[in-house]
Amino acid sequence: MYRRDLEKERTTLENPLKAGTLNFAATYMALGDLHSLVETYPQVAHLETVSAFKQVLESPDFTSETQAFFLYKKAAEALTFLVTNTAGSPLAFHSLTTLQGLLGATKGHSHRASAEAIGSLPLSVGGPKIDGNITKEIPRITWREILDKEKIACRENTIVLGRSLVAYIDKSDSLLAVKLVSSEDYIESASREAAWMEKLRSNGHSFPLRFNIPKPIKVNGSSVFKLRKIPEDIFQTMGPTSDLYAIAFIAHKDYFAYPNDHRPGKQLCAEAFKEVIFRNAWLLGRLTSLGIVHCAPIPLFHNRVQRGRRPDRGLYEWQRAGRLDRWLQSCRYPNFGLTGIRDFEHIISFNGSSRQLYNRVGTQILSLLLTTGSYFRNKDFKRLGFDKEGNAVDARDLFDKPFFKELIQGIFLAYYDGFTNMKFAGQIPLDFDDLICRMIDEMGVDHHMEEILRVVDQREMSDEFFKQFLKNRGYSDKDIKTEEKGVREITTYTGPHLGGFNERISIPELIDSVGTMSALCISGKFWSETLTT
């Protein structure tokens, strides 16, 4: 009876891969055969097997091939198979450290394949079940009745901050916020926001760092209510309104204080900013490790204009490395600040795959890095767009390069600590000096200001919306009258963007770095879970 010589099969497949003597098609076939052999007989895998997969991922010979990513993806997935199917063994550890080393040794398709493969390592992350609290009949209440019900005396007049009516409470370090919901479509998300406040305030969750979680207010047992008789001064600010759905909560007086505030007198000093950004990085990491994932630390878009007709609603998917729309505007009001994480309507209970979690981690880290860049630009936020000669504004002098580097490194280390519950050990496989230089060159000079309103998008707009769209982008009434809708593409200047319209991001190094940081977080948590099981 024929008996397979597995060792011979393995070495026959490994040797040409390690030697790099095969063309693309032959390499793909041999790689697939070796992967299949190892999947069927994991016991045959050897340190030399790891070297063969590593050689493929490090090879620059196939980078220009159309299908190069899929070749690298297969090699990286073979290594993660060895990590997960020989768990706890020296081979698993060697496979994982090899993949981590590739993060610093590769670029382009090979780097992406390695990072995404690591990002797919299985984790036991599952979020709690959250149910909103909405009664069958939503109660109605006035602003004055809320104050009376909670026995609140206001220090001064009510103000509008974003979608919230805010009153600072007399003789207290707290404020009352009534967050308005624009339509019935958003009632459920508003209710979930209040439910998350309750959940995170419960005894089951405690945080060693400052995290001032708001206290929701219920009206007749319901978190959501209809606000009647909006104060006259607020009515004038918001325009004509009827009863509005809302939630209310008591928060710390710093709830609306932003780490990168552009307003004079509101800007944080360097040490204060560092404390806030590192603390929020840690909090985002810790919450995510519990399956409590904030999906929008800042609003990120690839194309805001096309939100209505794109399947992805124009939202930014960082791993695709496309142009980032209006990065400074996205950073204007981050959903984290002096009090910690905020705007809980964007929190989800995560129970998906590690690969999905890898994407979420990357979004959070990217948001923190962009906000850090905006901190420097906001030191003189009026320097924006084009100068008097029509040249791109150069604001690179606003950046403190050594401090910027310290912040970027510290954000990763804080997030990693929060996510894995351990300190990062060893060398971070990133060229921080190169990353910082590239970020300053692109974030500090407004190279890309153009936004194109395509004919198809114009035709989706009502006449009134079209006119308002142009007015919001600086068109005069006279120019608006002469601009016929749906006839030609219209170029407006709404940046700065990171990348030209319909192009790639202008800082690919940033995307690679986010991929590396996210992968290291996933692998760190995977390894800590492996060691404790």
DSSP notation for 306-324: TTTTSTTTTB--GGG-BPB
Average pLDDT over residues 153-170: 87
CATH architecture of 140-252: 2-Layer Sandwich (3.30)
Average pLDDT over residues 366-379: 98
- Mean per-residue pLDDT of the chain: 91
Question: What residues pair up with 493 in beta bridges, in sequence order?
Answer: 450
- The pLDDT assigned to 306 comes to 67
pLDDT band at 206 (very low <50, low <70, confident <90, very high): confident
- The pLDDT assigned to 385 comes to 92
Q: Global pTM?
A: 0.93
pLDDT band at 234 (very low <50, low <70, confident <90, very high): low
pLDDT band at 1 (very low <50, low <70, confident <90, very high): very low
Indicate if the pLDDT at residue 431 is higher than 70.
yes
Q: Domain residue spans in the chain?
A: 6-119, 140-252, 270-448+508-531, 455-488
Average pLDDT over residues 320-334: 95
Question: What residues pair up with 392 in beta bridges, in sequence order?
Answer: 386
Question: Among the ranges 4-8, 401-405, 475-479, which has the highest mean pLDDT value?
Answer: 401-405
- The pLDDT assigned to 205 comes to 75
Separation between Cα atoms, residue 189 and residue 192, nearest integer Å = 5
Please tell me whether residue 27 adopts helix, strand or coil conformation: helix
pLDDT band at 284 (very low <50, low <70, confident <90, very high): very high
pLDDT tens digits, 484-511: 899 999 988 999 999 998 899 999 999 9
Average pLDDT over residues 418-436: 96
Joined tokens for residue 381? 């936020």
- The pLDDT assigned to 5 comes to 87
Burial letters 467-503, b for 16+ CB under 10 A, else e: bebbeeeebeeeeeeeeebeeeebebebbbbbbbbee
Please tell me whether residue 242 adopts helix, strand or coil conformation: coil
Relative to beta strand 292-294, strand 347-349 is antiparallel
Indicate if the pLDDT at residue 237 is higher than 70.
no
Indicate if the pLDDT at residue 320 is higher than 70.
yes
- The pLDDT assigned to 202 comes to 85
How far is CA 517 from each of CA 48, 121, 150, 503, rounded to the nearest angstrom?
28, 15, 45, 24
- The pLDDT assigned to 241 comes to 52
Residue 250 is inside which H or E element, if any?
A: strand 244-252
Indicate if the pLDDT at residue 16 is higher than 50.
yes
Separation between Cα atoms, residue 44 and residue 400, nearest integer Å = 53
Average pLDDT over residues 316-328: 94
Among residues 172, 174, 373, the alpha carbon closest in space to that of 259 is found at: 373
In a 10 Å sphere around its CB, with 0-12 CB exposed, 13-18 middle and 19+ buried, how is residue 377 labelled?
buried
